[in-house]
Amino acid sequence: MANTSSEFAMKIIDKGIMKGKEDMIENEIAIMRLCRHPNIIRLVEEFETLENIYLVLELVRGGDLFDAITESVRYDESVASSLIQDLASPIAYLHARNIVHRDVKPENCLLERHPNGKLQIKLADFGLAMEVTKPIFQVCGTPTYVAPEILVEGGGNGYGLEVDNWAVGVIAYILLCGFPPFRSPNRDQNQLFDIIVRGEYEFISPYWDDISQGAMDLIRQLLVINPKKRLTADGVLNHAWIRSGGQFKGPNLQRQVTMELARANLRSQQKIQQNV
């Protein structure tokens, strides 16, 4: 890399730990090389030694999507709408190229904070991303955000791009109340997966009493069990609630959402990944 005063982030991949999964690393690098979008973290350069692979990445200093909420003074529907638009845009870009991310979640949505106060999402971590050329049957993702078709016993008919759109729906729900739509009272993963497969959720009072019908309509169209009937990322961008820029601001949700995020402790989740 040329001498520069610019700062970058570095992702270091231990070859020993990833032995047997070299194709995943090659896939991640190939996809990141291809992507040029303002809402996708940019791969600047990559190089390797005998022990490690180094990915030099665009440096994003604003934390992740959870940090954006907890550190805001005012957080309302207009902010949530803008964030969902920022998330749907890179997903639409990827899907137009038949690329599925497979791990869309708030921790992978890094935030660039502009001088005018605007927040800009940068989608990161393409470790599970792949080109979709046929139905996928590998079980992977993060429990709270995983789509029902990934969890169907026996693999069902496989899955494709639509799993990312389900995750957008889960994130939209969390952004407006602070906890996920699908929850196991005992934090039991198998019970959680059963609830997801059945698509059982509701807009719980009093948390949703002051949320607009437009926001709830978007979520209803995304959290659809049948992936073929689920709203696409382009559909999200053209939804009335997104196009209006969340003009219905409503109350300041910052305190409520921050408290519920802390209670939900969503950052503690481990990825699920296995071959089936």
Q: What tokens does 103 get?
A: 């791990």
Token digits for 155? 């693999």
Residue 84 token pair: 């969902």
The closest alpha carbon to 169, from 99, 239, 112, 122, belongs to 239
| DSSP category for residue 100 | E
* Residue 257 CB neighbours (<10 A): 23
Q: Which residue numbers are catalytic?
A: 103
Sequential DSSP letters for 104-159: --GGGEEEEEPTTS-EEEEE---TT-EE-SS-B--EEE-GGG--HHHHSGGGTT-B
